[in-house]
Amino acid sequence: MSSAEIRAHLWELAQERIEAERAGLTANEAYMTDLEDEIVAYRHALVGVAVTEIAVLRGELFGREQG
């Protein structure tokens, strides 16, 4: 997945959390915990993918140093 795709999914998860709160599902601990765990996992994935994308771009721009 690209960072853009992960950000889009995080936005969808945020919307799901808002809808869950509106529907009164905050008392459903299992559901809310699962939702929060997924959000955390995607945030971590976003950091990893973003760092990788930056490294790849940097490699493309500057090439590999010869030593």
Residue 34 belongs to a domain: yes
Does 67 score more than 50 pLDDT?
A: no
b/e code 25-47 from CB counts within 10 Å (16+ = b): eeeeeeeeeebeeebeebeebbe
User: Among 25, 45, 27, which Cα is nearest to 37's?
Assistant: 45
Structural domain that includes position 21: 3-59
The pLDDT of residue 43 is 98
Residue 54 belongs to a domain: yes
pLDDT, tens only, 9-65: 999 999 999 999 999 999 999 999 999 999 999 999 999 999 999 999 998 898 866
Residue 52 belongs to a domain: yes
Residue 67 belongs to a domain: no
- The predicted model scores a pTM of 0.81
